[in-house]
Chain A
Amino acid sequence: MTSSKRTEPRRSLLRRIETFLDEAYAAPFRRHQRRSQRRQEDLFRLLVLSEALGIPNPAGFYCLELMPFVLDDFHAWHRRMGMEHSPVDGFRCC
């Protein structure tokens, strides 16, 4: 048996331990991190979409090119904000 074959199972065991520990580290606090990340993203989305939502924004023109980045998750966002249908006239997702 070559040495590389011998070390293979060891490596995979180490990888499994690593995956398990990473999961054990992240799982209890995943919700805190994802929630704070989502809160930041929601604020960013609100700023980008502010003109479309009727909130005057002096930087509205420059936000236009950021629009495509916030539309991916748009449907989930307006549902999360308690709006059954899209609040933006020009963009109908549902």
Chain B
Amino acid sequence: MTSWMLALFAFAAFFVGYRFYSKFLAERVFRLDPDYITPAHRFNDGIDFVPTNRFVLWGHHFTSVAGAAPIVGPAIAMIWGWGPALAWVLVGTVFIAGIHDFGTLWASSRNRGESMGAIARKVISPRAFSLFLLIIFFLMLMVNAVFAVIIGTLFTNFPASVIPYWMQIPIAVTIGWLVYRRGVGVLWPALIGLFLMLALVGVGAAVPVSLPEQIAGAPSVAWWTAIMLAYGAIASRLPVWLLLQPRDFMNAHLLFIGLIMIYLGVFVGRPEIVAPIFNTAVPPDTPPMLPLLFVTIACGAISGFHGLVSSGTTSKQLNHETDARFIGYLGSTGEGLLAVAAILATAAGFATFEAWNVHYESWAHASSSGIAAFVSGAGNFMGHLGLPVALGTTFVSMMVVCFAATSLDTSMRLQRFVLAELGRQYKLPALSNINFSTTLVFILCVALAFFADPERPGQGGMILWPLFGTTNQLTAAMSLLILSLIFWYTKRPYLLTLIPFLFVATVTTWAMFINVGNYLAQGNLLLTVVGGLLLALNIWLLLEGVAAVRHRREPSDVLEAN
């Protein structure tokens, strides 16, 4: 089978999902009302609540949820073959992520734009809010540790990406300064910035920068990881307009350019798929596909992080309730397309099966270099468009590093807010101190990134990937539970979210049992403790769900009428 047919099949599946399933959800389940006054209009304060054009809002929503995670997950899961990975991405996006993202956006807009945590307090119990905060805290911790290692791996494997990545910072700061301080329109600075970034890809490819293989007994990946975590801590203390905002804006353009070029490469070059559809000869250290596939690919199939974005910012800017279908469902579809691009690049981006197998000769190797497989494969796709492969790989590696670094910056910020919230809940005022919480977050991330795998200090972050997937799925399960309860109380077809909830909650609990068992067998104390805590949160969530069904709530308690 050739890759373009797969790409076409995925497009068709997403189109049918959007055209028919999301329409059914909008009309029969959510019963969207074009006359409903959304929180953006009702509480319009020019700050949090601002009615926003749906295309702008979709762009904002999509670029907030799409990052490095939907690329890394499928790139690792390719070890079981492309068939299971693709099936999970398609089914997950169409039937689980779609209703999750769309539903959280709708539920939040029908609850005064409140976040899922605040809605959990109302729909489940006040205790559920603490559970929610703890899950988010772990999610952010995993994001920081894992993404720092991903960047470290990419800088080591693709030294050409070092210059373009670091040069993006002064370019972004200049754009931020021009727009914010000088009041210049964003068009020309952004165009010049993008042009410079593309030129720097050429410079990076010509002048690769790499650290010595070993410095003071630690490998270069470990050093890059430490540098990136320190960078994340500093960047998260800067005002958003200075670095985060312009860089986010540039990344959005890089994302669209990257996605278009990868799919164009597939349709122009029509490369053959060399990876097996179902890998019957998986390396011996690979964990069982069931249930690990479902936590390895989190973003791209179903991701709880989307619910945080939907209910955190997007719902407060919804112009019409009917826009929720376009923004929520198509946002998840966009991320599905990114995951399919990752599957195509890792399945068809290599000339031979042997070249593919180099990246997937063991589970440990696939975990640490799956992302490198994506970069090489996507670089080869760009080669089909007449671009030198070296430039293509540099562009793709820079793109992934930029996404991961922005996620690092954002999640360190978010983790600080979560700590402050926990501090308020449990009367620990020190956690609200910005310097103290940043330092604490930094230390926790370094500890996790360096000591997760005691045999390979500094490179242990990727061993956390299944745990990252689990926490992400836990967040999603919580949102699906809330939606199921809302449907139950308001007499709507609750099975549409209850079945995904039961599925996601079961596979995550099952995967956590397997993971914790493995950590115990390996004698890895740190991961046994972290995994055990996550398993406890998992069970707590299931118990909350059971307990919530016994409470009877009126429809008006959980949803605002028109």
Using CB atoms and an 8 Å cutoff, list the residues of chain A in contact with chain B: 17-18, 20-25, 27-36, 38
Contacts and interface: CB of A to CB of B under 8 A. Distances in A.
A19 to B, nearest CB: 9
B126 to A, nearest CB: 22
A27 B47 contact: no
B185 interface: yes
Task: Give the top 3 A-B pairs by smallest Cβ distance, nearest first.
Answer: A34-B47, A25-B186, A29-B245
A27 B317 contact: yes
B53 interface: yes
Interface in B205-255: 239-241, 244-246, 248-249, 252
A21 B175 CA distance: 13
12 contacts: A21-B186, A22-B187, A23-B52, A23-B53, A27-B60, A28-B64, A29-B245, A30-B46, A30-B50, A31-B48, A32-B240, A34-B47
A15 B47 CA distance: 25
A24 B55 CA distance: 9
Contact of A27 (B52, B190, B246): B52
Interface string B264-302: 000000000000000000000000000000000000000
Given A29-B245, A33-B241, A24 B46 contact: no
> What is the predominant secondary structure among interface residues of chain A facing chain B?
helix
B179 interface: yes
Nearest to B252: A24
Nearest to A20: B56
Nearest to B57: A27
Contact of A25 (B46, B53, B55, B179): B179
A35 B47 CA distance: 6
A22 B184 CA distance: 10
B60 A21 contact: no
A3 B92 CA distance: 54
B429 interface: no
Contacts of A22: 185-187
A23 B56 contact: yes
A33 B245 CA distance: 10
B475 to A, nearest CB: 21
Contacts of A25: 179, 186, 190, 245-246, 249
A21 B190 CA distance: 9
A24 B187 contact: no
Contact of A24 (B47, B56, B179, B239): B56
A38 B46 CA distance: 11
A16 to B, nearest CB: 11
A80 to B, nearest CB: 9
Given A17-B187, A25-B249, A30 B47 contact: yes
Interface string B54-91: 01110110001000000000000000000000000000
Nearest to B314: A28
B310 to A, nearest CB: 14
B61 to A, nearest CB: 9
Nearest to A76: B45
A24 to B, nearest CB: 5
A7 to B, nearest CB: 17
A38 B48 CA distance: 12
B248 A31 contact: no
Nearest to A14: B187
A34 B46 CA distance: 8
Interface in B441-471: none
Given A22-B186, A24-B59, A29-B244, 15 more contacts: A18-B186, A21-B185, A21-B186, A21-B187, A22-B187, A23-B53, A24-B56, A24-B60, A24-B252, A27-B57, A28-B60, A28-B245, A29-B241, A31-B47, A31-B313
B432 to A, nearest CB: 15
A30 B57 CA distance: 12
A28 B313 contact: yes
A75 B6 CA distance: 60
A70 to B, nearest CB: 18
A4 B119 CA distance: 56
Contacts of A34: 46-47
Contact of A18 (B56, B57, B185, B249): B185
Contacts of A29: 240-241, 244-245, 248
Contacts of A18: 185-187
B220 to A, nearest CB: 34
Contacts of B186: 18, 21-22, 25
Interface in B339-388: none
B248 A28 contact: yes
Contacts of B249: 24-25
A44 B295 CA distance: 50
Contacts of B46: 30, 34
A84 B403 CA distance: 45
Most chain B C-beta atoms within 10 Å of own C-beta, residue among A17, A18, A28: A28
A17 B56 CA distance: 12
Most chain B C-beta atoms within 10 Å of own C-beta, residue among A23, A24, A32: A24
Nearest to B50: A30
B543 to A, nearest CB: 35
Contacts of B313: 28, 31
Contacts of B190: 21, 25
B191 to A, nearest CB: 9
Contacts of A32: 240-241, 245
Contacts of B317: 27
